[in-house]
Structure 1
Amino acid sequence: MGTRGGEHVKGEAKYTMHENNILAEEKDLFKILADASPDCIKLFALDNKIKFMSQGGLKEHNLKTPEDAIGLDWTTTIVPEQRDEVLRKIKQSIAEKRAVSIDVQHLHEFSNREWCALIINPIFDESGNVKYFVGISRDISDRKKFEEEIQERSAEQSRLVNAMIDREIKMAELKRENDELRKSLGFPPA
């Protein structure tokens, strides 16, 4: 980048000092915003390789520096059985030109969060081609554990209800058999 008459020249684009200051301030504000969030905020390319990851994302994935994240295929951090579904969601986001969401389960060796609610939003260039994706994921591990507990309790309640119904059916059968036996012996029904 050179200067020409008080303007900074970057390639074909010309920026005044004032515009450069605004761009630098916006970059700083974006970094403050991204790093203040505990969520994993990532920018990734069409090959799913990370171009940027927030401090929350670095912490989530046990990475020390942004450079450790750059080039990482983030889909390798989720369980293999979900990867095709995630790729379908990415294709859906492109086709529908909108954000999509999915709950993803991470491999333990790649994350300190078991489950995350992930939003993927495609970023298009002026020609309408996908340039990047923004991914924002929030830890939902506690919610998933609670949902599992509810499912387990619901299954246990269903088992108990079925056992009670079976008991009532058995009691009705026994009463009927008892009444038939009493009748065959000449006694009145109980």
Structure 2
Amino acid sequence: MDVRVRKPGRSTSVFVVVLAYASLASLWILLSDRVMALLVSDPAMLVQVSMGKGWFFVAMTSVLLYFLVRRLVDQLTAAHERQLEHQREQKQPPPMLVAIANSSTDAIFAKDEEGRYLLINTAASRFIGKPPEDVLGHDDRAIFPPEQAAFIMAVDRRVRETRQPETNEEALLTREGARVFLATKGPLLDAQGRVFGTFGISRDITERKAAEVALHDNRERLRLLVDHAPAALAMFDREMRYLEVSRRWRDDYMLGDQDVIGRSHYEVFPGIPEYWKAMHRRGLAGEILSADEDAFTRADGSVQWLRWELRPWREADGTVGGIVLFSEEISKRKLAEQELKHRNEELERFNRAAIDRELRMIELKRQVNGLAQALGQRPPYDLSFTELPKGEGQ
């Protein structure tokens, strides 16, 4: 759309004024000189009359020129106003476009090259808190606080200059409070490709933005909780890829600083027994599993003893999204238990050997006492401690 003002008929009107002036001047000079020659014969008087005639001509032509120029200016001004009104009407959006825009819940607007609103739909009007008639024809400085208006107008100006659409997040203070909009703006082009304004579509994403911030905060808290949990903890998706892993898990399973997030658990630990994989599949099917002690033979042949628990975690729709594994490294406790058992077994063997030896000694002493009694001698050994008190054993 060509918005430049052109004043039609200007050259023609000027030519008419000049022609009228030239005609009048020519007639005046021709006729007035002849009349003066007939009426005045004295040369001195003729000079005086000629000067008067000249001043009279200047006065008359000045008055005539004033009315002619004023008429011309009025005509040009009226034509200019008509053309401006026509251009304003051309810039006004058609009723169908206004109806479509008003049916949208997104804020839709259009501005001219000076940033003045040409179109504003119902949603945008609601956010601004002003009816469309109070917004149309004004720029953002009449609507928003100075800093916000400067920011919005700077974006509009950049869009017009670059002729490229942009999508930005805009935090604005509206009648409904502080809101965040995802605003897409682009240049308005006429039939000749000239920029004559900007258009914009803004979607209120305040709730979505708040949800994103809350989700980020929750993830950060979860990450800190997992990372600093006193137990070894790892979270997996349905493909057994790591989603989160605690520092204790890294330490217990000697992972060091390697990045395991996104990697398969079976890639990180290729020697996982098949029965553990079966446990994982059962967990992904929704079961909760645990073991007080379990042996894990590492690739180097060493054995780790673990106490573990496996729980499924669920998506928002209730489906299983993966599993969480909690484990405790109990190898030291298991070794201590095994050592204690071994020592008890040794002590039991020693105790049994000592008892057998003592029983043999008692039997030999009984035999010696029996031989002494047979020879009429006093038994040399007191074995009364082996006899039950009277009344016992009956």
Q: Tell me if 1:6 matches 2:204.
A: yes
Q: Structure 1 residues 46, 27: closer, same or farther in 2, change over 3 A?
A: closer
Task: Name the structure 2 match of 1:54.
Answer: 246
Deviation at 1:27, TM superposition (A): 0.4
Secondary structure at the counterpart of residue 65 of structure 1: coil
The letter for the 2-side match of 1:56 is: R
Secondary structure at the counterpart of residue 170 of structure 1: helix
Which deviates further from its counterpart, 116-125 or 165-174?
116-125
Asked if the contact 2:284–2:323 (Cα under 8 Å) also holds between the matched residues in 1, the reply is no
Task: Name the structure 2 match of 1:154.
Answer: 344
Secondary structure at the counterpart of residue 33 of structure 1: helix
Secondary structure at the counterpart of residue 101 of structure 1: strand
Which deviates further from its counterpart, 52-61 or 133-142?
52-61
Q: Given the two structures, how large is their TM-score scaled by the length of structure 2?
A: 0.37
Q: Structure 1 residues 25, 32: closer, same or farther in 2, change over 3 A?
A: same
Secondary structure at the counterpart of residue 220 of structure 2: helix
Task: Name the structure 2 match of 1:71.
Answer: 264
| Counterpart pick for 2:233 among 20, 32, 41 | 41
What is the RMSD computed on CA atoms of the aligned residues?
A: 3.8
The 5-angstrom pairing of residues 160-179 of structure 1 reads 160-179=350-369
Q: Given the two structures, how large is their TM-score scaled by the length of structure 1?
A: 0.68
Q: Structure 1 residues 188, 162: closer, same or farther in 2, change over 3 A?
A: same
Deviation at 1:179, TM superposition (A): 3.3
Instruction: Give the greater-gyration-radius structure (CA).
Output: 2
Task: Name the structure 2 match of 1:12.
Answer: none
Deviation at 1:172, TM superposition (A): 2.2
Q: Give the structure, 1 or 2, with the largest relative contact order (CA under 8 Å, sep 6 or more).
A: 1
State the identity as a percent.
22
Task: Name the structure 1 match of 2:326.
Answer: 136
Asked if the contact 1:51–1:70 (Cα under 8 Å) also holds between the matched residues in 2, the reply is yes
Secondary structure at the counterpart of residue 67 of structure 1: coil
For residues 51-101 of structure 1, give each alpha carbon's deviation from its aligned partner in whole angstroms, at most 9, with x where no partner exists: 3332322233232334377212277556x5xx64x5676688789954523
Asked if the contact 2:279–2:289 (Cα under 8 Å) also holds between the matched residues in 1, the reply is no
Secondary structure at the counterpart of residue 29 of structure 1: helix
Q: Structure 1 residues 62, 173: closer, same or farther in 2, change over 3 A?
A: same
Secondary structure at the counterpart of residue 313 of structure 2: strand
In the aligned structure 1, how far is the partner of 2:307 from the partner of 2:301?
14
In the aligned structure 2, how far is the partner of 1:27 from the partner of 1:112?
36
Unmatched tracts of structure 2, length 5 or more: 1-181, 183-201, 381-394
Q: Structure 1 residues 36, 127: closer, same or farther in 2, change over 3 A?
A: closer
Aligned residue pairs, count: 177
The letter for the 2-side match of 1:51 is: Y
Asked if the contact 1:93–1:100 (Cα under 8 Å) also holds between the matched residues in 2, the reply is no
The letter for the 1-side match of 2:242 is: K
